[in-house]
A and B are shown apart, each in its own frame.
Chain A
Amino acid sequence: MKGEPAERLDPRAITLWKITGTLNMLPLLVGAGFVSWALVRFGGGSFFLGVLPVLAVLVLAGGVVGVVPGMRWRRWRYEIRPDEVDLQRGIFWISRTLVPLARIQHVDTRQGPLQRRFGLSTVVFYTAAGPNQIPELSTPVAAEARDRIAELTGEQDEL
């Protein structure tokens, strides 16, 4: 296996992930707030015990929003080589995936509503065993990557 893949995701991905992280944590925070309120109001627990659930969720949210996006971005790398797509990702479980272009059946780009605001897109390519994706590339880069994968896929001789 060759060295690390060369390309990185768009830096705006970090901000986007922070926003989605916050949105994901909100319901949990509301739930914890409710539990805390109930503990203080009906449980007769002390105030400090009561705020524990909210504190725990806040710490978790701090991790999810403050730390994880940056780490995730620094780890995420990809490279489209003439014969393979090489992906590296993961914070604790670092995984490296190699997908031969000859195995790729088709390739899409996708854009969610938030991604559109940031001008980001996700490239999804499918093999017979399922999809793989490169998330959060700036839209022109994603389009280029998609076209390049499609073009290279067409050129492959059967292995």
Chain B
Amino acid sequence: MLVGAISTLRRWISGLVLPGVFLLLSQGFSLWTVTLFLLGIIVVAVLASLWGFLSWRATTYAVTGNSFRLRQGVFQKSERTIPLDHVQSVDTVQGIIQRPFGVYEVRIETAGGGVSEPDASLSALDRDAVQTLRREIEGSRIERSEETTGPTVLRRLSTRELLVAGATSGQIGVAFSVLAIGFQFLDNFFPEDFVRRLVETLAPNWLMVLLILVPVGLLLAWLLAIAGTVLAYTGFTLSREGDFLYIKRGLLERREATIPLARIQAVRISEGLLRQPFGLASLRVESAGYGEDSGVSATLFPLLPHDEVGEFLAVAAPEFAVAPTLKPLPRRALRRYVFRATFVYLIIAFAAAPVSFLVLQSALGLLTLSLILPAAAYGWLCYRDAGWAIEEDRLVVRYRSLGRKTAVAPRRRLQSRGVTRNPFQRRARLATFLAEVASGSGGSALRVRDLDAGAAETLAGELGPGAHLERA
């Protein structure tokens, strides 16, 4: 109840803070405005507590028969019944407010539920109540042996690994834009003179500005990226009990998520640009019912050595543990890869060079040509890394989109297979193969570009139903 009151309070106050502060600033700090401000806060606090109490009293839940029932609402009563078969996962989140009280927010997700909101959520349950609820909901799906041993921990993220994960996360771009916004905010905060003098003393000309600001900005962005990773992944622990995987993570907000093994559609092993040189990888799962916005909850493990991925999957999700030798693409596909990577830059260069000659009367536009070589190299890398294999009824596909990714999906999880050919591919007897698996937000594809057309058709056939009968 208290937690409910506090979170309502927080929500209401955050709505009032801006007008309040604005009022204070515009009217000056006279005794009268300060009193008014404090009075406002007290009134809001009292109302929020009352509301929190009422909604706490109105919320009841129960597991009866084969369904979970939730009743809530102070004025508008609502009652929701979720059949236990439809429950996808029971996740808990422990935010900063809940922590001192030792309670958890429980989120119940169903298959095909809304993407952004959980289908049912209980804002404050204590540890025992959470466990009981979990057992009641999941118990209907698993026949547990009498002596329950509890989940066994498969792997824990050490502090060192956590920091390495942050340092190599490749989120610098995101962090950089956050920083840029932050800087603008600062700009408004400090007097203009101060900023100008600061810049003038630090950097007398624009070259110095570049030389100083860019590395400092990058460094800050990098630190911010590390901080983000630390917030999200501190204490990342993956454990397994029977057919369920449990993930615990988070520094300020402790999250616990459940992934039923039966719901995992595909596993993606991702070796980021900064991680591949060190032989590091991260693992993600595509799981039906996990929405795009709870994307992080689809992280199976944030960082581990690439050599250990096979071993790790063998215990965590054995269905996906394969290490086949991949079939490479035919040599003639290289041209298409290089063309695809350089195409945009070629157009830019062809447009920029004449324009700069005519308008600026300089050959500066030719500089854009220098982009083409790295782009071609990237195309070559994409070609070299692409590959595919079928092993023991599982499709394995490797490709590069900045980082190198390997996706594994069992044949019975493929929702459809397709082969597409454009005119260029037809001339070179190449095709694009694409298999779809279910994922939180509709489908997600495993794609191989420019493999031999015949091979693509065989692949589509072999992954079909009844293929095992034909082979037998």
A residues in contact (CB < 8 Å) with B: 1-2, 83-84, 90, 92-103, 127-130, 132, 156, 158-159
**Chain B nearest CB, measured from A83 CB (Å):** 4
When A1-B458, A128-B288, A129-B442 are in contact, do A98 and B422 touch as well, CB less than 8 Å? no
Q: Are A103 and B416 neighbours in the complex by a CB distance under 8 Å?
A: yes
In the complex, per-residue mask of B59-93: 1 if CB is within 8 Å of any chain A CB, else 0 = 00000000000000000000000000000000000
Flag if A130 contacts B460 (CB, 8 Å): no
Q: Which of B198-206, B218-226, B306-314, B432-440 forms contacts with chain A?
A: B432-440
Give the interface size class of chain B: 20 to 34
Tell me whether A127 and B416 are in contact in the complex, defined as CB-CB below 8 angstroms, given that A1-B461, A159-B411 are known contacts: yes
Give complex CA distance A130, B466 in Å.
23
Is A1 a contact partner of B412 (Cβ separation < 8 A)?
no
Q: A1-B457, A83-B465, A128-B288 are in contact. Are A103 and B423 (CB under 8 A)?
A: no
With contacts A129-B442, A159-B465 taken as known, whether A99 is within 8 angstroms of B419 at the C-beta atoms is no
B458 contacts across to A, CB distance below 8 A: 1
Q: Is B330 an interface residue (CB 8 A)?
A: no
Residue of B288, B412, B421, B457 touching A93 (CB-CB under 8 A): B421
Are A94's CB and B415's CB within 8 A? no
Residues of chain B lying within 8 A (CB to CB) of residue A97: 416-418
**Contact indicator A127/B438 (Cβ below 8 Å):** yes
Query: Chain B contacts of A84 at CB under 8 A?
Result: 464-465
A102 and B442 contact, CB distance less than 8 A:
no
Instruction: State how many angstroms separate the Cβ of B355 from the closest Cβ of chain A.
Output: 22
Contact yes or no, A1 B422, CB < 8 A: no
Report the separation of the CA atoms of residues A84 and B461 in the bound assembly, to the nearest whole angstrom: 11
Which residue in chain B gives the minimum CB-CB distance to A94?
A: B421
- Contact, CB under 8 Å: B416 / A98: yes
A93, closest chain B residue (CB): B422
Asked if B464 contacts A100 (CB within 8 A), the reply is yes
A156 and B457 CA atoms in complex are apart in Å by 23
* 10 A-B pairs with least C-beta separation: A129-B443, A128-B438, A129-B415, A95-B420, A127-B415, A1-B457, A97-B418, A129-B436, A1-B461, A99-B416
Residue of A nearest to B289 (CB): A128
The chain B residues found within 8 Å of chain A, CB to CB, are 288, 411-412, 414-423, 426, 436-439, 442-444, 457-458, 460-461, 464-466
Given the known inter-chain contacts A83-B465, A129-B444, A158-B412, please indicate yes or no for A94 contacting B438, CB distance below 8 A.
no
**Given contact pairs A92-B422, A93-B422, A102-B465, A129 touches B457 in the complex (Cβ within 8 A):** no
Complex CA–CA separation, A102 to B416 (angstroms): 11
A interface: dominant SS: mixed
Complex contact B412–A98 (CB within 8 A): no
Q: Which residues of A contact B416 (CB under 8 A)?
A: 97-100, 103, 127, 129, 132
Q: Please name all residues of chain A whose beta carbon is closer than 8 Å to the beta carbon of B423 when the two chains form the complex.
A: 92
A83 to B419, CA, bound (A): 18
A101 to B416, CA, bound (A): 10
Given contacts A84-B465, A90-B420, contact A99 B415 (CB under 8 A): yes
Instruction: Assess whether B420 is in contact with A83, with CB atoms less than 8 Å apart.
Output: no
**Inter-chain contacts of B437 with A (CB < 8 A):** 129
- With the chains together, A98 CA to B436 CA distance in Å? 10
Q: Report Cα–Cα, A7/B416, bound state, in Å.
A: 20
Q: Is the CB of B464 within 8 A of A129?
A: no
Instruction: Flag if B439 contacts A129 (CB, 8 Å).
Output: yes
Chain B residue nearest in CB terms to A158: B412
Q: Find out whether the CB atom of B418 lies under 8 angstroms from the CB atom of A130.
A: no
B225 CB to nearest A CB, Å: 32
Complex: A66 Cα to B415 Cα, angstroms? 36
Between-chain CB contacts (< 8 Å), 12 pairs: A1-B419, A1-B460, A92-B423, A94-B420, A94-B421, A99-B415, A99-B416, A102-B465, A127-B416, A127-B436, A130-B436, A130-B442
Least CB distance, A11 to chain B, in whole angstroms:
26
A5 CA to B466 CA, complexed, in Å: 18
* Contact yes or no, A96 B419, CB < 8 A: yes
Complex CA distance for A95 and B466, rounded to whole angstroms: 22
Chain A residues in 8 Å Cβ range of B466: 83
**Nearest chain A CB to B253 CB, angstrom units:** 30
Given contacts A128-B415, A130-B436, 20 further A-B contacts (CB under 8 A): A1-B460, A2-B461, A83-B464, A84-B464, A92-B422, A92-B423, A95-B419, A95-B421, A96-B418, A98-B416, A98-B460, A99-B416, A100-B465, A103-B415, A103-B416, A127-B416, A128-B438, A129-B416, A129-B438, A159-B411
